[in-house]
């Protein structure tokens, strides 16, 4: 019996969640596995945020919230957009959802006709592709070359802007490539888009607080105000405040777009958890020193990984400019032979070998449209990361 609808046949479950599930199973069997699959901060949610949730629950904020988000949270988000991103969004131009993922899901569901195209810049967050597929849309992958730091350019984009394109997804800082776009890069991409008014742009800025070196987190809607009525700015509290489990994401965009997304959301989930929304208000309005602290730690780990990988001949890693991933090139390992006599033919072979024999879980790059690469998350303690990098180095050294 085939239970799945036709459009589900090409949809994959989240790659990182799958890897982490395998790692959990191996751990439960007693193996000493290091899971570098899942992209979530290893920090606890700061205490003042948890206290705000507790207070809200005791105060009776336990009923259905407004579908598009509580007034308190939408006001806090509008202030945050103004303060951090120099974008004016009225509360009516804001929606709160169950994670940024649901914002993205709502946006496509509300706006795209079956078989319209969604442009993705590879390497991309794997859910972009699968959220498009689950809705019967056509994801189109723009391969952004590692030689150009995985960056989309206006020239590259030009060839993909056909009349059936409905959305372009941009993500800066990006998962998994760690790409951070500069102002002039965004301006030239925007200039290209001006002549294609049917295209909406989703600017996923969820890693904006995890930014290294001298880069600046720039919001497309503030850099390119001429496009603002076609931009959905996506963000959330998962990554910046170590709140992945609270499931609060939000989007800012044109009023009619937000209203259409709210209609979708009203029939999916009726909105996001009222108590988690109260926590998110505190996250956005409360003390921000935790955010700077998390970023410092992620920077230290990024440096640790870059330094160690530079010492492993056959792997390649350009220093990520933001987010907490390392996307490593392993093309030089193709054709290598494992101590067990198996030939490594792809990054998937390598990742499986690494997990099976060295007990480190990583995600094959194919999930992100990046064959010959694999991703590790650096959101784990320095000690565990060091242990994992030792195992990775040993794994590569023992290949023939």
Of 236 and 369, nearer to ligand PLP (C-beta) is 236
Query: Which 3-state string (H, E, C) describes the chain?
Result: CCCCCHHHCCCCCCHHHHHHHHHHHHHHCCCCCEECCCCCCCCCCCHHHHHHHHHHHHCCCCCCCCCCCCHHHHHHHHHHHHHHHCCCCCHHHEEEECHHHHHHHHHHHHHCCCCCEEEEEECCCHHHHHHHHHCCCEEEEEECCHHHCCCCCHHHHHCCCCCCEEEEEEECCCCCCCCCCCHHHHHHHHHHHHCCCCCEEEEECCCCCCECCCCCCCCHHHHCHHHHHHEEEEEECCCCCCCHHHCCEEEECCHHHHHHHHHHHHHHCCCCCHHHHHHHHHHHHCCCHHHHHHHHHHHHHHHHHHHHHHCCCCCECCCCCECCEEEEECHHHCCCECCCCCECCCHHHHHHHHHHHHCEECEEHHHHCCCCEEEEECCCCHHHHHHHHHHHHHHHHCCC
Please report, as ranges, the residues that interact with ligand PLP according to CB under 6 A.
39, 99-101, 125, 171, 175, 204, 206, 236, 238, 244, 249
**What's the min distance (Å) between Cβ of 353 and ligand PLP?**
25
**What's the min distance (Å) between Cβ of 234 and ligand PLP?**
7
Of 37 and 39, nearer to ligand PLP (C-beta) is 39
**What's the min distance (Å) between Cβ of 190 and ligand PLP?**
20
| Sign, CA torsion 33/245/247/271 | positive
Nearest residue to ligand PLP by CB is 99
**What's the min distance (Å) between Cβ of 120 and ligand PLP?**
11
Of 116 and 235, nearer to ligand PLP (C-beta) is 235
**What's the min distance (Å) between Cβ of 203 and ligand PLP?**
11
Of 117 and 247, nearer to ligand PLP (C-beta) is 247
Of 45 and 238, nearer to ligand PLP (C-beta) is 238
**What's the min distance (Å) between Cβ of 5 and ligand PLP?**
24
Of 123 and 329, nearer to ligand PLP (C-beta) is 123
Round to whole Å and give the CA distance between 247 and 283. 13
Of 99 and 365, nearer to ligand PLP (C-beta) is 99
**What's the min distance (Å) between Cβ of 99 and ligand PLP?**
3
User: In 188-210, which positions are buried (b, 16+ CB within 10 angstroms) versus exposed (e)?
Assistant: ebbebbeeeeebbbbbbbbbbbb
Round to whole Å and give the CA distance between 338 and 154. 42
Of 199 and 248, nearer to ligand PLP (C-beta) is 248
**What's the min distance (Å) between Cβ of 106 and ligand PLP?**
12
**What's the min distance (Å) between Cβ of 125 and ligand PLP?**
4
Of 249 and 369, nearer to ligand PLP (C-beta) is 249
List all residues 6 or more positions away from 77 whose beta carbon is below 8 Å from its beta carbon. 69, 89, 91, 94, 96, 250, 252, 284
Of 135 and 338, nearer to ligand PLP (C-beta) is 135
**What's the min distance (Å) between Cβ of 372 and ligand PLP?**
21
């Amino acid at each position: 019996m085939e239970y799945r609808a036709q459009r589900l046949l090409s949809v994959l479950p989240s790659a990182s969640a799958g890897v982490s599930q395998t790692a959990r199973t191996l751990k439960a069997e007693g193996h000493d596995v290091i899971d570098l699959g899942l992209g979530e901060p290893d920090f606890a949610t700061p205490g003042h945020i948890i206290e705000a949730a507790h207070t809200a629950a005791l105060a009776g904020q336990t009923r259905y919230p407004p579908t598009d988000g509580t007034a308190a949270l939408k006001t806090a988000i509008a202030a945050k957009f103004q303060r951090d991103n120099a974008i004016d969004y009225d509360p009516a131009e804001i929606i709160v959802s169950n994670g940024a993922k649901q914002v993205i899901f709502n946006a496509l569901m509300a706006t795209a006709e079956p078989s319209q195209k969604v442009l993705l810049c590879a390497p991309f967050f794997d859910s972009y592709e699968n959220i498009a597929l689950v809705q019967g849309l056509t994801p189109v992958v723009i391969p952004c070359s590692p030689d150009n730091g995985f960056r989309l350019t206006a020239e590259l984009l030009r060839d993909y802007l056909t009349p059936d394109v409905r959305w372009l997804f941009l993500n800066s800082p990006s998962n998994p490539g760690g790409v951070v776009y500069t102002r002039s890069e965004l301006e030239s991409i925007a200039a290209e888009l001006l002549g294609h008014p049917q295209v909406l742009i989703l600017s996923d800025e969820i890693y904006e607080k995890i930014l290294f070196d001298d880069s600046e987190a720039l919001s497309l809607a503030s850099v390119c105000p001429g496009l603002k009525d076609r931009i959905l700015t996506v963000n959330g509290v998962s990554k910046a405040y170590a709140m992945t489990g609270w499931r609060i994401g939000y989007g800012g965009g044109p009023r009619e777009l937000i209203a259409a997304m709210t209609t979708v959301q009203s029939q999916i989930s009726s909105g996001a958890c009222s108590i988690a929304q109260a926590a998110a208000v505190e996250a956005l309005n409360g003390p921000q020193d935790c955010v700077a602290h998390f970023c410092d730690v992620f920077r230290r780990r990024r440096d640790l990984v870059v330094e160690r990988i530079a010492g492993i001949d056959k792997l390649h890693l350009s220093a990520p400019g933001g987010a907490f991933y390392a996307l490593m090139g392993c093309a030089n390992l193709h054709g290598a032979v494992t101590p067990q006599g198996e030939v490594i033919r792809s990054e998937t072979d390598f990742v499986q070998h690494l997990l099976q024999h060295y007990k480190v879980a990583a995600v094959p790059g194919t999930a992100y449209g990046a064959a010959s690469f694999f991703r590790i998350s650096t959101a784990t303690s320095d000690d565990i990361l060091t242990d994992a990098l030792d195992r990775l180095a040993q794994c590569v050294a023992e290949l023939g």
